Amino acid sequence: MSINLRLTLIILSCLVLTAFMALLQGYETSFNEAEKQLDQQLVSLSQVLIETPVASWPEQNEFYAKLWQGTDTIYSAALLKSTPHEDFLKSEFRTVNVSGKRLRVYVEQKGDKTLLLAEPVNKRFALIESLIVSAMTPLVLIMPFLALAIAWYVRRALKPLTLLSKELQFRRANDFTQLKTRSEDAEVAPVIERMNSLFKKVEAAYLRERYFASDAAHELKTPISSLKVNLHNVASGDMHGIKAMELGIAQLNHIVEQMLTLARTEPDSWQNQFSAKDLLSVTQQIVADNYAKIDAKNHLISLQGDSATIQGCDFTLNTLLGNLLSNAVKYTPQGGEIKLALINKNNQVGWRIEDSGPGMTDEQIARVFDRFYRVGGDKHPSGEKGAGLGMAIVQQIIAIYHAKIELSRASLGGLMVTVWFNKESDEN
């Protein structure tokens, strides 16, 4: 059963039950009120009749009367002829059975006169019921129209949910496009928003699974083939192949480490590990870790800026900034210069690195975050080996921090990379 039908039935059931209870309450209230009015009518009529000569009494087809003066009967309706006087000696209302008829009786006394005035109860019931039915008939007649109005409104209110259900029902398993259904309802809008976000994440995971294995196999193919050749050379007695094998193993190890790092830096699993980190201290540690490479190429490196605290974790920050510094060291020629700077600007902290390397064209910058992409392919002018995964890892960590990264031409002639951390976002 659909929610639409279930909700309509529930509301209609509540409406019918409420109307039924109202009818019962109205019947009881109306009956009691009518009883009072009819009793008052008996009182008024008996007060008039007891003052009026019997000969002048009007014909009453709906009332029965009996009049005593003292103990003598002056007048009696045929139905009341056997009614004894001693049973009606005080003014009161009572309901009695007389000759098989149930009567509502009132006794009026004035001087030595006693008037018994009776009205059939069934006549009263018929009159009261007709009054109640006439009062309640409009409510009963309007019920079907209320039911239609309720069904229409429930259907209209649940239309976004119905459309969403139909859209999901006919969606293919590999269709991760955004949902077309839109709604401003507080209950439905967050569902659509979350599902669109989920589709986006599932699509990213699906594409990673689809393309990563083939890309990884392609990148591992070259070093493995090289190792086979070098192993054959060593087996043939060429000892120079041992050094080449060491370099090939190192390259293979680097690719595997980068692939594992890439797998570990999915955005959703890191923010719960964040704590306050001093970006200046992290940068100084990264420079110290890479100093052997910097010194080997006789680079001039400088660091400017003050302490800046952001929310983060050691692994992601070390990987992000370490990859950017490692790239600058790799592609800056012997005796070149590297500048590091920390920038505090409004509610943002900027981490900037510039180098005097060859830099990158706009076309190369547009592709630099693609997995396994390297400028110049395997024949980069610097001669440096790489896996082409470093900037892809950087991009994933940028997403973890909700940060921004900018690449442009540096004043030193090479590449300038600026990462902007938003303090407020990082603390959320």
The separation between CA 51 and the C-alpha centre of its own chain, rounded to angstroms, equals 80
In a domain, 158, yes or no: no
Tokens 């008052």 belong to residue: 40
Dihedral, 286, 291, 294, 299 alpha carbons, nearest 10: 100
Half-sphere exposure at residue 102, Cβ-oriented, CA atoms within 13 angstroms? 6
Copy the structure tokens of residue 304.
Answer: 């400017």
Q: What percent of the chain has pLDDT over 90?
A: 8
Element (H, E) at 341: strand 337-345
Instruction: Indicate the range of 37-46, 104-113, 128-137 predicted with least confidence.
Output: 128-137
Nearest to 12 by CA among 128, 154, 187: 154
279 versus 191: the higher-pLDDT residue is 279
179 versus 381: the higher-pLDDT residue is 179
- 101-110 β-sheet, strand order: 72-76, 64-69, 113-120, 101-110, 93-98
101, 123, 153: which is the final residue of a domain? 153
**Alpha helices per DSSP H over 337-410:** 362-367, 390-400
**Do 40 and 65 lie in a common domain?**
yes
Q: Cα separation of 34 and 131, whole Å?
A: 9
Q: Quick check: 88 and 22 in contact, CB under 8 A?
A: no
Return the number of other C-beta atoms located less than 10 Å from residue 170's C-beta.
7
264, 279, 313: which is the final residue of a domain? 264
Copy the structure tokens of residue 229.
Answer: 């050749």
Domain count, the chain: 3
In a domain, 162, yes or no: no
**Do 259 and 270 lie in a common domain?**
no
**Do 416 and 279 lie in a common domain?**
yes
**Do 93 and 115 lie in a common domain?**
yes
Instruction: Indicate the range of 122-131, 256-265, 297-306, 340-349 predicted with least confidence.
Output: 256-265
Tokens 């896996």 belong to residue: 387
Tokens 């098989």 belong to residue: 100
Q: Cα separation of 386 and 367, whole Å?
A: 16
**Do 148 and 198 lie in a common domain?**
no
What's the sign of the alpha-carbon dihedral 39, 44, 47, 48?
negative
**Do 97 and 17 lie in a common domain?**
yes
**Do 58 and 102 lie in a common domain?**
yes
Q: Cα separation of 366 and 391, whole Å?
A: 12
**Do 60 and 89 lie in a common domain?**
yes
DSSP β-bridge partners for residue 73: 68
According to DSSP, residue 269 is labeled G
Report the pLDDT averaged over residues 318-342.
Answer: 89
In a domain, 163, yes or no: no
Q: Cα separation of 373 and 394, whole Å?
A: 13
pLDDT confidence tier of residue 352, bands split at 50, 70 and 90: very high
Q: Name the range with the highest mean pLDDT among 224-233, 253-262, 307-316.
A: 307-316
Q: Cα separation of 35 and 51, whole Å?
A: 25
Q: Cα separation of 167 and 288, whole Å?
A: 56
Asked if residue 72 has pLDDT above 50, the reply is: yes
Copy the structure tokens of residue 271.
Answer: 């923010």
Q: Cα separation of 40 and 34, whole Å?
A: 10
In a domain, 164, yes or no: no
Q: Name the range with the highest mean pLDDT among 29-43, 180-194, 266-280, 371-385.
A: 29-43
**Do 316 and 394 lie in a common domain?**
yes
Instruction: Indicate the range of 6-15, 252-261, 287-296, 356-365 predicted with least confidence.
Output: 252-261
Tokens 């800046």 belong to residue: 308
pLDDT confidence tier of residue 417, bands split at 50, 70 and 90: very high
The residue type found at 258 is: Q
**Do 97 and 15 lie in a common domain?**
yes
172 versus 245: the higher-pLDDT residue is 172
Query: How high is the pLDDT of residue 313?
Result: 82
Asked if residue 381 has pLDDT above 60, the reply is: no
List, as own/partner pairs, every contact residues 91-94 make where C-beta atoms lie below 8 angstroms and the sequence separation is at least 24, other chains included.
93/39, 93/42
Report the pLDDT averaged over residues 400-415.
Answer: 88
Instruction: Indicate the range of 149-153, 240-244, 258-262, 342-346 predicted with least confidence.
Output: 258-262
Q: Whole-model pTM?
A: 0.49
**Do 412 and 278 lie in a common domain?**
yes
Helical pair 279-289 and 314-331, crossing angle rounded to 10 deg? 50
264, 286, 319: which is the final residue of a domain? 264
Copy the structure tokens of residue 366.
Answer: 């547009």
DSSP β-bridge partners for residue 107: 116
pLDDT confidence tier of residue 223, bands split at 50, 70 and 90: low
Copy the structure tokens of residue 384.
Answer: 């440096």
Rg (CA), the chain: 49
Asked if residue 315 has pLDDT above 90, the reply is: no
Asked if residue 214 has pLDDT above 70, the reply is: no
List, in order, residues 6 or more apart from 13 with CB less than 8 Å away.
none
Asked if residue 3 has pLDDT above 90, the reply is: no
**Do 59 and 193 lie in a common domain?**
no
Q: Which domain holds residue 180?
A: 173-264
What value does the mean pLDDT of the chain take?
79
